[in-house]
Amino acid sequence: MAFALDLLQGKVKVDDCTPLLEPKYKKDYDTLKDLLGAEEGKEKELRIDVDNDLCDGCGICVTICPVNARYCPPSLSGKAPDYPPEKHQLFQVKGGKCELLAIEYCRRIEAQGRERECRVCETYCPREAIKIDYV
Amino acid sequence: MANERVICSGCSLLCDDIIIKSDGLYIDEVIGACLKGKERFDQATAKNRILNPLIKKDGELKKVTFDEALEKTLTIIKNSSKPLLYGFSTVNCEAQLKGIELASLINGFIDSNSIICQGKVLNTAKETGLSLTTIAEGINKADLLILWGANAAESIPRLLNKVLFSRGKFRMTGREIKTLIIIDPVKTASFGVMGVRDIALQIETAKDIDLIRVLKEYCCKADGIPDAGVAGIDKDDLKRVLLHLTGTENGIIFIGQGLLKSQNGDNVIKELLELVQLINVKQEKGRISVIMLGGHYNMLGFDHVALSNYGKNHSLQFSNHQLVETPDTIITKIEKDDFDCSIIVGTDPISHFPTQLSKKLMSKPLILIDNKQTATSYVADVIIPSSITGIENGGMVYRIDHIPLNLKKIINPPNNVFSDEEIIKKIIESLE
Ligand code: SF4
Ligand code: SF4
Ligand code: SF4
């Protein structure tokens, strides 16, 4: 999983995975090369998009994001975090819509190991309004 | 007033953590409220706001002074022997109490929206008993949440955020130890929050009663669940649901609108409350409670106000200024044409009721106390605009978990419009 993530983020290349170079995995190797294309090896940037048309401000992302949980105590009991936002706070709901505040503290950038694979905001948004991507 | 936390009156969850930035005249920012809540705060300056008293003259609503509207209201009431009062779920408890006082004074019949919603559960509970809980218990202790016929993600947008995703006081984890079961014939937005351990049951339409009966039969037995399953739910899922129901330490069933209609002529709520009681009697270490999901922010208030002051939670008929027995509800009263004018407070029956009832309602003089244009405001004979409770006036309200809360006034109402309570008080004083 960690390799796949690093691959997507452009930190390693397909060729860095030695078993993939074996002839029996040639098909998988070619498919991956195709998928990654010219972008391979280039550092990709994390993007978290919140679709404002879909979002109804339920605040689930605010509560479930582990970074918010750590730095914004009210969110532990499902309450709106204090305002103005704490500098690490990733999401807030303002004017009935979710706003992404500080992507640089997202676990996909900051954390190590398995924690780096966090995707809970995207997974649990009932409106499918959050999309995590690398561009 | 800057950055104060206030209560949102957008729905019956009455979230008490909303941060408002206001200069005392307008609300500039709303932080923490969902879109529905934001729209509620926006209502103060909304285009469809009613700001002037109106009277229907020659088929058209014309602006008048408050005194003229009051005068017309008194004329309609004085010419009536069977007035009907209805609504009262979007006003504070003080206005609800005044509403019942007015009904008593004019020998009318009064009912709230609750009778066609949450009140059905309360009425059934008189036979079966009711095990209640609070939102805080849900946040801090619940390990099983069941949405039954309830699309919480849409009707009460922040409910799941609070009770399912919060971590609670006594532990570091939250979502991980809470199991969610959704029972609904339609795959609603609420299904979108399900995780791998949760159970999604897309039940066949109007078959909830069959499922409840099977659960009632097998909840006390170790095995013997029917191989064929029930209501489109297979044996394995049934088994998992039973295990959760009988093994939960703190389970909450959220009863939604989907269960309020009778199925095969039987009361689904009754069967469900009996199932809960059955499990709770057997359970040694845990307990299941229910919370009814209603939309209007103070629907429960009417039941509490009426019950504590008059001993009956709905459908109060007065005669000689005394409460008298009646089997009628607002629906049967209108069906039977047993009224000669109506006073509607803070609701829109013309669009909510079936057409034949709406037609009957609009065929008699209709007085409306409300703050926004609705289908009812277009057919009303008199409209008295009111301030918005929770924004322009305060007062007591009851949350979905029967907890009383005090709403605060945030800004002054425009045009110095009166609150619902003040309006009804003025009508009472003018009649006395
Ligand atoms: S979870 Fe989704 S719908 Fe809810 S506030 Fe966040 S982005 Fe909006
Ligand atoms: S991926 Fe995880 S850490 Fe990053 S914003 Fe989403 S929930 Fe927060
Ligand atoms: S869930 Fe209801 S009470 Fe809470 S912010 Fe939304 S509309 Fe207001």
**A51 plus A115 within the same structural domain:** yes
pLDDT at B361: 97
Share of chain B above pLDDT 90, in %: 88
With b for 16 or more beta-carbon neighbours within 10 A and e for fewer, the A5-18 pattern comes to eebebbebebeebe
Q: How many Cα neighbours within 13 Å face the side chain of B341?
A: 23
Q: What would the two tokens of residue B293 be?
A: 């999901």
Chain CA centroid to CA A50, Å = 12
- From the CB of A130, is ligand 2 less than 6 Å away? no
The three-point CA angle B405-B409-B411 to 5° equals 155
pLDDT in tens, B118-172: 888 999 999 999 999 999 999 999 999 999 999 999 999 999 999 999 988 776 6
pLDDT bin (cut points 50, 70, 90) of residue A41 is low
Q: What would the two tokens of residue B246 be?
A: 């009988």
Which amino acid would we find at residue A25? Y
Q: Provide the shortest C-alpha distance from residue B19 to chain A (in Å).
A: 7
The yes-or-no verdict on residue B173 having pLDDT over 80 is no
Q: List, in sequence order, every beta strand (DSSP E) within chain A.
A: 46-50, 91-94, 97-100, 130-134
**A73 plus A115 within the same structural domain:** yes
Given ligand 1 and candidates A54, A56, A58, A94, which is best to mutate, with the most ligand atoms within 8 Å of its CB?
A58
Cβ A128–B30 below 8 Å, yes or no?
no
Q: How far away, in angstroms, is A94 Cα from ligand 3 center?
A: 13
pLDDT in tens, B16-30: 999 999 988 999 999
pLDDT bin (cut points 50, 70, 90) of residue A36 is low
pLDDT at B225: 81
pLDDT at B1: 45
pLDDT in tens, A98-126: 999 999 999 999 899 888 999 999 999 99
Q: Tell which wins on pLDDT, B47 or A3.
A: B47
pLDDT at B129: 93
Q: What would the two tokens of residue B83 be?
A: 């007035």
pLDDT in tens, A68-88: 999 999 999 999 999 999 999
**A58 plus A27 within the same structural domain:** no
With contacts defined as CB-CB under 8 Å, which chain B residues touch A92?
A: 31-32
pLDDT at A65: 95
Instruction: Give chain A's domain count.
Output: 2
- From the CB of A108, is ligand 2 less than 6 Å away? yes
Across B226-235, B265-274, B396-405, which has the greatest mean pLDDT?
B396-405
**A77 plus A98 within the same structural domain:** yes
- From the CB of A59, is ligand 1 less than 6 Å away? yes
**A89 plus A61 within the same structural domain:** yes
* Complex-level ipTM: 0.93
Mean pLDDT, range B262-275, rounded to an integer: 90
The yes-or-no verdict on residue A55 having pLDDT over 90 is yes
Three-state SS letters, chain B: CCCEEECCCCCCCCCCCEEEEECCCCEEEEECCCHHHHHHHHHHHCCCECCCCEEEECCEEEECCHHHHHHHHHHHHHCCCCEEEEECCCCCHHHHHHHHHHHHHCCCEEEEHHHHCHHHHHHHHHHHCCCECCHHHHHHCCCEEEEECCCHHHHCCCHHHHHCCCCCCCCCCCHHHCEEEEEECCCCHHHHHCCCCCEEEECCCCCHHHHHHHHHHHCCCCCCCCCCCECCECHHHHHHHHHHHHHCCEEEEEECHHHCCCECCECHHHHHHHHHHHHHHHCCCCEEEEEECCCCCCHHHHHHHHHHHHCCCCCEEEECCEEECCCCCHHHHHHCCCCCEEEEECCCHHHHCCHHHHHHHHCCCEEEEECECCHHHHHCCEEEECCCECCCECEEEECCCCCEEEECCCCCCHHHCCCHHHHHHHHHHHHC
The yes-or-no verdict on residue A40 having pLDDT over 70 is no
pLDDT in tens, B201-235: 999 999 999 999 999 998 877 677 888 889 999 99
pLDDT at A24: 77
Q: How would you classify the pairing of strands B179-184 and B199-202?
A: parallel
The three-point CA angle B318-B319-B323 to 5° equals 45
With contacts defined as CB-CB under 8 Å, which chain A residues touch B37?
A: 57, 96
**A52 plus A93 within the same structural domain:** yes
B183 at interface of A, judged by CB pairs closer than 8 A: no
pLDDT at A72: 94
- Give the integer Cα–Cα distance in Å for B242 and B236: 10
Cβ B157–A58 below 8 Å, yes or no?
yes
**Which domains are assigned to chain B?**
50-113+298-431 (3.40.50.740), 119-292 (3.40.228.10)
Cβ A56–B35 below 8 Å, yes or no?
yes
pLDDT in tens, B360-374: 999 999 999 999 999
Cβ B167–A76 below 8 Å, yes or no?
yes
pLDDT at B404: 98
pLDDT in tens, A7-24: 666 666 777 777 777 777
pLDDT at A75: 92
Note the ligand closest to the C-alpha atom of A98.
1
**A12 plus A30 within the same structural domain:** yes
The yes-or-no verdict on residue B183 having pLDDT over 90 is yes
Mean pLDDT, range A43-62, rounded to an integer: 95
Nearest to B166 among A63, A81, A92 (CB): A63
**A18 plus A65 within the same structural domain:** no
pLDDT at B280: 95
Question: Listing from the earlier edge strand, what are the strands of the sheet with B109-112?
Answer: B60-63, B54-57, B382-385, B366-370, B341-345, B83-87, B109-112, B316-319, B322-324
3-state secondary structure of A106: coil
Domain that holds residue A14: 2-39
pLDDT in tens, B9-67: 999 999 999 999 998 899 999 999 999 999 999 999 999 999 999 999 999 999 999 99
Going from the C-alpha of B330 to that of each of A61, B316, B318, B345, the distances in angstroms are 42, 10, 14, 14
Cβ B31–A126 below 8 Å, yes or no?
no
Cβ A93–B31 below 8 Å, yes or no?
yes
* Tally of CB atoms within 10 A around B151: 21
* Among B189, B119, B174, CA closest to B141: B174
Mean pLDDT, range B161-188, rounded to an integer: 89
- Total number of residues shown for chain B: 432
Share of chain B above pLDDT 70, in %: 98
Nearest CA to ligand 2 atom 2: A118
The yes-or-no verdict on residue B8 having pLDDT over 50 is yes
Cβ B167–A77 below 8 Å, yes or no?
yes
Q: How would you classify the pairing of strands B144-148 and B179-184?
A: parallel
- Mutation target to probe the A interface, by most A beta carbons within 10 A, among B15, B17, B43, B178 is B17
pLDDT in tens, B335-394: 999 999 999 999 999 999 999 999 999 999 999 999 999 999 999 999 999 999 999 999
Give Cβ neighbours of residue B221 (< 8 Å, ≥ 6 apart).
none
- Please state the atom number of ligand 3 nearest to the C-alpha of residue B158: 1
* B272 within 8 A of B130, measured Cβ to Cβ: no
- From the CB of A130, is ligand 1 less than 6 Å away? yes
**A26 plus A71 within the same structural domain:** no
Nearest to B17 among A55, A79, A96 (CB): A79
**A33 plus A56 within the same structural domain:** no
With contacts defined as CB-CB under 8 Å, which chain B residues touch A59?
A: 32, 34, 158, 161
- Mutation target to probe the A interface, by most A beta carbons within 10 A, among B8, B34, B196, B197 is B34
**A22 plus A54 within the same structural domain:** no
Q: How far away, in angstroms, is B224 Cα from ligand 1 center?
A: 42
Nearest to B33 among A57, A63, A124 (CB): A57
With contacts defined as CB-CB under 8 Å, which chain B residues touch A128?
A: 192
- From the CB of A93, is ligand 2 less than 6 Å away? no
Which amino acid would we find at residue B202? Q
- Give the integer Cα–Cα distance in Å for A125 and A63: 11
Which CATH number characterizes residue A66's domain?
3.30.70.20
Q: Tell which wins on pLDDT, B2 or B86.
A: B86
pLDDT at A9: 64
Cβ A94–B190 below 8 Å, yes or no?
no
Q: Provide the shortest C-alpha distance from residue B190 to chain A (in Å).
A: 6
The yes-or-no verdict on residue A97 having pLDDT over 60 is yes
With contacts defined as CB-CB under 8 Å, which chain B residues touch A76?
A: 166-168, 174
* Among B405, B398, B334, B428, CA closest to B18: B405
Q: Provide the shortest C-alpha distance from residue B215 to chain A (in Å).
A: 29
**A68 plus A92 within the same structural domain:** yes
